[in-house]
A and B are shown apart, each in its own frame.
Chain A
Amino acid sequence: MFRPIAGAALAIATAWSSAAFAQQTLTIAISGEIETLDPPFSQFQRSNEVNYNVLDQFFRYGWADTGKGYALADTAKVEGSAFESWTWSGDNKVLTLKMRKDAKFTASGKPVTADDVLYWVERARGTKAGTDWNVNTAHIENVKAIDASTVEITFSQASPWFFALFRDQSQAPIEAAVAKEHHTADDPWAAKWLSKNSPGSGEYSVAEWQPGVEMRLAANPSYWDGKAFFDNVVLKTVPSSANRALLLKNGEVDIARDLSNDEINLLRDAPGVKIVSVPTRNQMLFGFNTTQAPFDNAKVRQALAWAVPYDDIVAGLFAGAGHASKGPIPVEGQGHDSALWTVSTNIDKAKQLLAEAGHPNGFAFTLDIDDGNPTAQQIAVVLKDAFSKAGVDMTINVQPASVFAEGLGKLSHQAWMRDLLWYVDDAGYTGELFFKTKAVANWMGYSNPKLDETITKLGVAVDPAERKALAADYQKILIEDMPTIAIVDMPFEIAMRDNIEGYVQLPDNLLWYWPLKRAQ
């Protein structure tokens, strides 16, 4: 008599607890393994996303609901995260920062201190990897601890993009004492240990990791801004994108990442599924090698810009989401001015410019694309057809990712196409990285002293009116010289179950798990 009742009670309790686990667990299908948990060595979206969620960045952006089913991070509104407050010196060259008093490391429960920040800077410089770039680019000269909860940063010059750089996934304290325990003679910065372990203070921490299968993140109960809604976030590796879409449709996962445009379109009307579509600053760029004929002639570059069917690409490939690009600053970017964009789709104008450039019968060239970029491949097919109408014969050459990346670095492509996400919403930063003479990502070999001067000024100007005027000059020069054609400002589209709410679009297209909730 008693045994069946006890059995039934146990069954009900088990079913209830498993349903509760499912309710409080966010399951995300991802396309591949998490490469590393060590931010300086992460150049990949999946790793960056995990790092963003398990570390508490120094700063974060505020956000506001758009009324369109998602909230948008406001790049003009910087909030403290690991740092709570700060003050600038009169000349904008010394920044005094206060640590957040209730920020604690997840595993040890110890407070985050100024020493942890100093260790972060030392490690950035010592590893000479990604975070070192940020320290240098922010013009940081010196960092010192005033006391256990106060840090002072001295800059060699004013640094308008400091906050934008120090809110990204890699800019976050880790527990110095724990990391130092794993320093060895062969591995002086514990790169091996930190690739698999993350002693951070973020909204989540890594609870389980089975490489190739899944990673489970557990919510940090003592996170300074409150515990996340989801107790667990499970990242399931599902390499087949068709399967990721199928699992979402069947309700096996809550969110499916990295789906193709076609799969997203197929899911738009699926019951129980919603597509969050957000315009971004992710531009598809068509770059020219300006050191070689025929692209050493600006008129040739302009001619091809006039042949691009901007609106057709947005309508045909992105179902009308996103924006037809209007110049080198994305439409959603700070300082963008559409009035400066004088180009539209006009084949006759393209032919006229080609004739003026000495190519009345057109010419032939090769466009190189990375084989891991299906969207670029789709756009290239449309461009090939469009350019042929102007008499230009474009051969599309799809290359392995490493060959393509090396070609960019060595300036060996005749022309290339890839997407670039301007996650630092600042023309000066973009120019410093991309358009300045001999800039590290100046894959065009482009040089214009007037633009260099504008970029240098943008690097120190803090007055909004001055920055706006400089951004306008920047756009005018680049539209005139056209070292790259921005084809489309692509939307970020993410497929999820329709009961997932609270999505916040970050400038780097990373998914932030903390604000997500499941509707009852």
Chain B
Amino acid sequence: MDSTRHWIKFLAKRLGGLALSLWIVSLITFTVTRLIGNPVYLLLGPRYTEDQFQAAVQRLGLDRPIWDQYLTYLGNVLTGDLGVSRYTQTPVLEDLLHRAPATLELSTLALLLGVAWAVPAGIAAARNPRGWFAWFADAIARIGVSLPGFWLSLLLVFVFFAQLQWLPAPLGRIDEAYRDLPVVTGWMTIDTLLAGNLAAFGSALAHLVMPVVALAITTCPSIFQITRARTEEIMASDYIRSARAFGMPDRTIRRYMLLNMAAPVLTMIAMTYGFLISGTVLVEVVFTWPGLGLYAVNAMSHSDYEPVQGVVLFTTAFYLFLYMAADIVNGVIDPRARASS
């Protein structure tokens, strides 16, 4: 009974925090986008009459007080209406749903590649901190953390496309010949397999290689570092030394270690995933990846408020949801986390 009450309290707190954070973010984004200039001047260009100017102001609702505009916006958001792009006339939600799979596929594969390297490498480096592998893995992490993602992307394009021609041109997600395949999930790798087209699947994978590697190298060193530091800390802890002294089997000790290591590593993975969703912008620009980042960049360059607000809200919600999910998993793994919250 107590445990159920604890869980309800725990989840209520997390959901309340999520809603509050989203509201604050919506307020900040709404205010900041309105500080970057009146869009009507840009929308109309240099040729307009006063009549046309006022018509545009009215059409965009900019003649109303800012608080009134915000309340309308908030009310619409609560009903799932994120507004309409002022340039393309497309509903923002429609654009986001269309663009999100491209970013999600890229970020998820980059995260999987990063975790597949960073977690085992972190544990191996911690177990033998003075060995060559620890030195090598540490060097990779340091290089990755200090390289700008877009620069590494340009370098990869130059080497693997322009010079060696091993990989396709940085022109989107799949070769032109396969662009007519039916869209089911929006993930090219899955949709090509569902269509039973292995050549298309190969093309989708080939297009993913460079951006995924660039993102994995530049965003996952933090997972390596926290895995290594936490493993070293646990290996030096009293309970592991006692377990060893009592002659516990290695398998049991490894299980204890992994359980104790999991919480901070999972949190870091969740944070990295959230960062990847919002941090792919420049990599998307280099690889012409039609995802959320490219969408936001286009909208920013036109002072198109609604898409910018939509992308920020979407990525914030995604990030907070991941963070909450990591918290819940931590609560399951470690009762102390649940109790302390």
Using a CB–CB distance below 8 Å, which chain A residues touch chain B?
A: 32-33, 35-36, 38, 41, 43-44, 128-130, 132-133, 136-137, 191-192, 195-196, 210-214, 236-240, 242-243, 246-247, 249-250, 252, 372, 400-406, 408-409, 420, 433, 440-441
Contact B44 A402 (CB under 8 A): no
Contact A238 B42 (CB under 8 A): no
Question: Within the complex, what minimum Cβ distance (angstroms) separates A287 from chain B?
Answer: 12
**What chain A residues lie within 8 Å of B44 (beta carbons)?**
43, 129-130
If A36-B87, A405-B37, A409-B41 touch, whether A433 touches B46 (CB-CB below 8 Å) is yes
If A43-B45, A239-B285 touch, whether A129 touches B294 (CB-CB below 8 Å) is no
Residue of A nearest to B303 (CB): A402
If A130-B45, A433-B46, A441-B46 touch, whether A36 touches B89 (CB-CB below 8 Å) is yes
Complex CA gap A404/B37 in Å reads 8
Complex CA gap A438/B301 in Å reads 29
Please pick, from B38, B51, B297, the residue contacting A406 in the complex, using a CB distance under 8 A.
B38
Complex CA gap A400/B46 in Å reads 17
Complex CA gap A191/B38 in Å reads 22
**What chain B residues lie within 8 Å of A33 (beta carbons)?**
88, 298
Complex CA gap A95/B36 in Å reads 45
Complex CA gap A37/B9 in Å reads 53
Contact B294 A441 (CB under 8 A): no
Residue of A nearest to B304 (CB): A35
Knowing that A242-B154, A405-B37 are A-B contacts, what are 18 other residue pairs whose CB atoms are under 8 Å apart, sorted by A's residue number? A32-B301, A35-B87, A44-B87, A132-B52, A133-B47, A133-B49, A192-B89, A214-B172, A238-B171, A243-B170, A400-B303, A401-B42, A402-B303, A404-B37, A409-B38, A409-B41, A441-B46, A441-B47
- The 8 A CB mask of B83-106 against A (1 = contact, 0 = none) is 000011110000100110000000
Segment 281-297 of B: residues with Cβ below 8 Å from A: 285-286, 288, 290, 294-295, 297
Question: Within the complex, what minimum Cβ distance (angstroms) separates B111 from chain A?
Answer: 23
**What chain B residues lie within 8 Å of A44 (beta carbons)?**
87
Question: Within the complex, what minimum Cβ distance (angstroms) separates A199 from chain B?
Answer: 16
Please pick, from B88, B98, B288, the residue contacting A237 in the complex, using a CB distance under 8 A.
B288
Please pick, from A247, A433, A440, the residue contacting B171 in the complex, using a CB distance under 8 A.
A247
Question: Within the complex, what minimum Cβ distance (angstroms) separates B165 from chain A?
Answer: 8
Name, among B55, B297, B298, the residue most crowded by chain A CB atoms within 10 Å (CB to CB): B298
**What chain A residues lie within 8 Å of B162 (beta carbons)?**
246, 249-250
B43 sits at the interface (CB 8 A): yes
Complex CA gap A38/B179 in Å reads 26
Segment 46-101 of B: residues with Cβ below 8 Å from A: 46-49, 51-52, 55-56, 87-90, 95, 98-99
**What chain B residues lie within 8 Å of A440 (beta carbons)?**
46-49
B302 sits at the interface (CB 8 A): yes
Range class of the B interface residue count: 35 or more
Please pick, from A35, A236, A239, A246, the residue contacting B302 in the complex, using a CB distance under 8 A.
A35
Contact B45 A211 (CB under 8 A): no
Please pick, from A35, A236, A239, A409, the residue contacting B88 in the complex, using a CB distance under 8 A.
A35
Complex CA gap A136/B47 in Å reads 11
Segment 147-168 of B: residues with Cβ below 8 Å from A: 154, 157-158, 161-162
Contact A400 B37 (CB under 8 A): yes
Question: Within the complex, what minimum Cβ distance (angstroms) separates A207 from chain B?
Answer: 12
17 contacts between A and B (CB under 8 A): A41-B43, A129-B44, A195-B89, A236-B171, A239-B294, A246-B161, A246-B162, A247-B171, A250-B161, A250-B169, A400-B36, A400-B37, A403-B36, A403-B37, A408-B41, A408-B46, A433-B46
Q: Please give me the 4 A-B residue pairs with the lowest Cβ-Cβ distance, nearest first.
A: A402-B37, A212-B290, A402-B303, A43-B45
Complex CA gap A213/B47 in Å reads 31
**What chain A residues lie within 8 Å of B55 (beta carbons)?**
128
Complex CA gap A250/B45 in Å reads 36
**What chain A residues lie within 8 Å of B46 (beta carbons)?**
408, 420, 433, 440-441
**What chain A residues lie within 8 Å of B95 (beta carbons)?**
211
**What chain A residues lie within 8 Å of B98 (beta carbons)?**
211
Please pick, from B41, B47, B179, B295, the residue contacting A210 in the complex, using a CB distance under 8 A.
B179
If A213-B172, A238-B171, A402-B37 touch, whether A133 touches B52 (CB-CB below 8 Å) is yes
Complex CA gap A33/B99 in Å reads 14
Complex CA gap A41/B162 in Å reads 39
B39 sits at the interface (CB 8 A): yes
Residue of A nearest to B173 (CB): A213
Please pick, from A38, A136, A249, A405, the residue contacting B49 in the complex, using a CB distance under 8 A.
A136
**What chain A residues lie within 8 Å of B298 (beta carbons)?**
32-33, 212
- The 8 A CB mask of B25-40 against A (1 = contact, 0 = none) is 0000000000011110
If A250-B162, A402-B38 touch, whether A213 touches B297 (CB-CB below 8 Å) is no
Residue of A nearest to B95 (CB): A211
Question: Within the complex, what minimum Cβ distance (angstroms) separates A418 from chain B?
Answer: 10
Complex CA gap A250/B165 in Å reads 10
**What chain A residues lie within 8 Å of B41 (beta carbons)?**
402, 405-406, 408-409
Question: Within the complex, what minimum Cβ distance (angstroms) separates B90 from chain A?
Answer: 8
Contact A240 B49 (CB under 8 A): no
Question: Within the complex, what minimum Cβ distance (angstroms) separates A271 from chain B?
Answer: 14
Question: Within the complex, what minimum Cβ distance (angstroms) separates B286 from chain A?
Answer: 5
Residue of A nearest to B293 (CB): A239
